[in-house]
Amino acid sequence: MSLPGKVWFVGAGPGDAELITVKGRGLIEQADAILYAGSLVSQAALNWAQSRCAIEDSKDMTLEQITTWLIDQAHRHTTVVRLQTGDPGLYGALVEMVRPLDQAGIEVGVVPGVSSAMASAAAAVESLTLPEITQTVILTRIEGRTPMPEHESLYELAAHHCTLCLFLSITLLKEVSRALLDAGWREEDPVLVVQKASWPGEEKIVRGTLADIRERCIAERITSQAMIIVSPALGARHWPDIRRSKLYDPGFSHRFRKAHPSS
């Protein structure tokens, strides 16, 4: 009896099909079966699939139905792809899907993808880190139907005053603003919201403050698939001056370049 095939969990990226990795595209091209998250993944990514490839949409499936489909296809085919939005390891239920495959003796692999957090910053031409302003990025969400673990409330994380990238929280902007204000942020602190980052013709970029970002998003009818970024580095492109990175400072030595102090 032949061994089962391998199931690959592939990050499709944030929306633009061209933002998938070269390896991810290659697996789509050679896949015998693909299960894609139809509510979040652009169907353009499936254009690279072979005509004989079995393709199924998982948007109305339960976890058990997803894993049953993957196991069944792995017993029929060599290469099976589970195509997920963004990166499989971020809010992608990766471990929940892998455990039944492990129990079934099916080999798995993971191909990372571009997160909507990075795509949102890119869309707005923002840096998530800035020398002497913030060197830390927290990827999180506010508590909704899914409870947060102890010590991971947004209030506690916001107390660090670093960059916060908030997933799955756009319908809770009032609670987001309240948590940050309670943690010491100011009403005038900038907020960036990007809906469908990188999706051709569908991307929306909204800028505001903790005081008005909710009203701005309501006006733009943004209620889903949106990234919220709050950071002390937002808007630095237009500041009169910023601290330079040591890596490119002529007065800073490293193993590839000797310092050249200014006269």
CATH 3.40.50.620 assigned to 6-111: no
What pLDDT, on a 0 to 100 scale, did the predictor assign at position 248?
A: 66
Mean pLDDT of 141-161: 92
Q: Is the pLDDT of residue 257 over 90?
A: no
Q: How confident is the model at residue 263 (pLDDT cuts 50, 70, 90)?
A: very low
What are the residue ranges spanned by the domains of the chain?
A: 6-111, 116-236
What pLDDT, on a 0 to 100 scale, did the predictor assign at position 253?
A: 67
Asked which of 93-107, 115-129, 160-174, 244-258 is least confident by mean pLDDT, the reply is 244-258
What pLDDT, on a 0 to 100 scale, did the predictor assign at position 254?
A: 64
Q: Is the pLDDT of residue 7 over 70?
A: yes
Q: What is the pLDDT of residues 204-219, one digit of tens each?
A: 999 999 999 999 999 9
Tell me the HSE value of 124 on the side-chain side, using a 13 A CA sphere.
30
Q: Is the pLDDT of residue 80 over 50?
A: yes
Q: How confident is the model at residue 145 (pLDDT cuts 50, 70, 90)?
A: confident
CATH 3.30.950.10 assigned to 116-236: yes
Q: What is the pLDDT of residues 84-113, one digit of tens each?
A: 999 999 999 999 999 999 999 999 999 999
Mean pLDDT of 186-203: 97
Has this prediction a pTM greater than 0.75?
yes
Q: What is the DSSP letter of 128?
A: S
Asked which of 5-14, 79-88, 198-207, 238-247 is least confident by mean pLDDT, the reply is 238-247
In this prediction, what percent of the chain has a pLDDT beyond 70? 93
Mean pLDDT of 116-138: 97
Q: Which residues, including other chains, have CB under 8 Å from residue 261's CB and lie 6 or more apart? A: 250, 251
Mean pLDDT of the chain: 93
Mean pLDDT of 244-255: 66
How distant is the alpha carbon of residue 248 from its chain centre?
Answer: 29
Show contacts of 243-252: CB within 8 Å, 24+ apart: 243/130, 243/131, 243/132, 243/133, 244/131, 245/131, 246/131
What pLDDT, on a 0 to 100 scale, did the predictor assign at position 144?
A: 82
What pLDDT, on a 0 to 100 scale, did the predictor assign at position 1?
A: 54
Q: What is the DSSP letter of 254?
A: B
What pLDDT, on a 0 to 100 scale, did the predictor assign at position 259?
A: 67
More confident residue, 246 or 171: 171
Is 69 in a helix, a strand, or coil?
A: helix
